[in-house]
Amino acid sequence: MKQWNWQKKIFLKSIFCLFLVFNHASAAIIFAGYVKVSDGDTIKISKYKIRLHGIDAPEKKQICQRPYLNLVFFSLYEDYFCGEFVTNKLKEFIENKIIECRVNDKKDFFGRYLGVCYKNNLNINQWLVENGYAVAFIKYSKDYVKFEEIAKKNKVGIWSGKFLMPWEWRKKKK
């Protein structure tokens, strides 16, 4: 059993090294490996922090409202920590699988790579927006606007209740 764990670690490190590819022509970098979720739009693979491109998720301490009683003419709402809720949804979705992120060589203000990440070829950025766990960050990209419209129409995730856009919440907290 111990031999298998040792071999597994070597194998996974080898895979990580193989996926850590730098393409000088397009300045594209691919990171792959097991992920630590920092919050709803930031993950870490090995020592590399990656901010999910084109989306913005509620902050960990952000409070939103969700309906707990819907009557014919009105709804009653309760407060919940939507940032924590979204972070947990991302952790559940990733479920200790190897994730691949395609990033460019530019970093954001906080020194994080900006990237699009995949679980078994499923775009995680898109999944978060389409399920109402994040919004399209149109200040930087319009890639996920149509998926936000789907979530809003279906009233899923944070769209089922009331919330401030994450950038508005951050500005208010300054």
Residues known to be catalytic: 51, 59, 112
Q: Give the separation between CA 139 and CA 77, rounded to whole angstroms.
A: 30
Q: How far apart are CA 12 and CA 8, in angstroms?
A: 6
DSSP state, residue 54: T
Give CA–CA dist 104/115, Å, rounded: 7
Please state whether beta strands 48-52 and 113-119 pair in parallel, antiparallel, or not at all (unpaired): parallel
Residues 93, 117: Cα–Cα separation, whole Å: 12
SS3 state of residue 169: helix
